[in-house]
Amino acid sequence: MVKRTLFIALLALNLFAANTDEVSVFDMMDEAREDKFVNSQASKPQAKTPSEEDISRKLVSPRSIAPQPERITPEQMRNIVPTNEPDISVPDNQVYDKIKIKDLLLKATNIPKNVVVGEIFSAEIVADTQSDLEFEFETQLDETNIKWLNKKNFQWVKGDENKYIGTFYLEATSIDAKTLRVSLDLKRNGENYQNSNINIFLPKLKELRSDENYNHIVADNLEVKKFKTTKFDDINNIMVVEIYGNNVDLSAFNIENKTILKQGVDTINGDFNSQSAYYFAVFKPNKKTLDFNYYNLKKAKFESFSLPVSVEEDEVSTQIGLNPKQSEFSTYKDITIYSLVAIFILLAIWRRKLSYFFVAAVFIALGIYTYNPFG
């Protein structure tokens, strides 16, 4: 009975092991498996492992190779889609747009209606550059029958926005002056950028009528500070007059009197607002007075001067400021010559060499030779 029960139990255990997937004892051993008795469920057929030949065939297949782009010619590019990019066949001077330079606008303002010939007046010109750039200004003025008084220190003053104002101080020298032409050139980096010109109608001119003693001076006032008469040469006298005026051009001082042999103006100081100068006149000894008149703008009438001729003994005026040929150049020349004389005399004393005395003597002789105040 016991044997029968044990047999049934072993049979049941064997059947249960046949239906499981556990690894048998033989699987865990390194021996040959011909004598293994492991029952397992029928497995599904596995896919065949691809060989190296199949893999290489797939790698070189047309589907695995990426398509190479074709080269496009310039003609094909033109036919693709229009763009805003420049055409590669268009010259450079047609690709880039040219910036149009705006015009330089000139306008005249603040011009008086009436002036006297010889009177100083002003005229303003407004220059509109229509640009924010900085420029170099070159101004030209037709000075036919017109004298441009502030030519040396004239400048354009920046106003509102892109406008510049230039104030011209002028003097009409003839009643024939009708118009004034002003030209303006704007430059950048030394090259022309803009240019324009304008013709200005001048004020109505009034010509003064006076006698032969009129000195062609039109001013707010004119003063004679001092005067002196000396011998000019053996047969002629010279009078030197120091004059001062306001709103005046003293360079125009000229007396159209036949008794005056030679005349001129020298050593002008100041501007036309306040100016001083020296006037000289050479005449015969029989002349008793130097007479002249000028037109006073404030009083609107002529005012006259009569300077008596009283010849002094010295041949040349030695008073300060009464030398008609005293100029900045002659002053600098005298200072230079006499400074060199002093230097060489000191060198001669210090080094005790006669050669330095000789050089100093040469400069002294040069100073004496060039001292000719009336030219």
* pLDDT computed for residue 366 by the predictor: 74
Mean pLDDT value across residues 241-250? 95
Residue linked to tokens 């190779």: 65
Taking the C-alpha atoms of residue 374 and residue 198, their distance in angstroms, rounded to an integer, is 44
Taking the C-alpha atoms of residue 315 and residue 264, their distance in angstroms, rounded to an integer, is 19
* pLDDT computed for residue 34 by the predictor: 46
Residue in 155, 101, 97 with CA at minimum distance from that of residue 131: 101
Residue 167 or residue 13, greater confidence = 167
Mean pLDDT value across residues 113-142? 90
Structure confidence by residue, pLDDT tens digits, 160-185:
888 999 999 999 998 988 889 999 99
Residues 172 and 205: beta-carbon distance below 8 Å: yes
Task: Determine the Cα angle at 147 with ends 143 and 153, to 5°.
Answer: 100
* pLDDT computed for residue 330 by the predictor: 62
User: Where residue 86 falls among pLDDT bands split at 50, 70, 90?
Assistant: low
* pLDDT computed for residue 243 by the predictor: 96
Residue 45 reports pLDDT greater than 50: no
Mean pLDDT value across residues 241-269? 93
Taking the C-alpha atoms of residue 272 and residue 251, their distance in angstroms, rounded to an integer, is 10
Best mean pLDDT range from 14-23, 141-150, 335-344: 141-150
Structure confidence by residue, pLDDT tens digits, 53-85:
554 555 445 454 556 666 777 677 666 655 555
What is the per-residue burial (b if ≥16 Cβ within 10 Å, else e) of 52-82?
eeeeeeeeeeeeeeeeeeeeeeeeeeeeeee
Structure confidence by residue, pLDDT tens digits, 362-374:
878 777 766 544 4
Taking the C-alpha atoms of residue 231 and residue 309, their distance in angstroms, rounded to an integer, is 11
Task: Determine the Cα angle at 323 with ends 321 and 329, to 5°.
Answer: 90
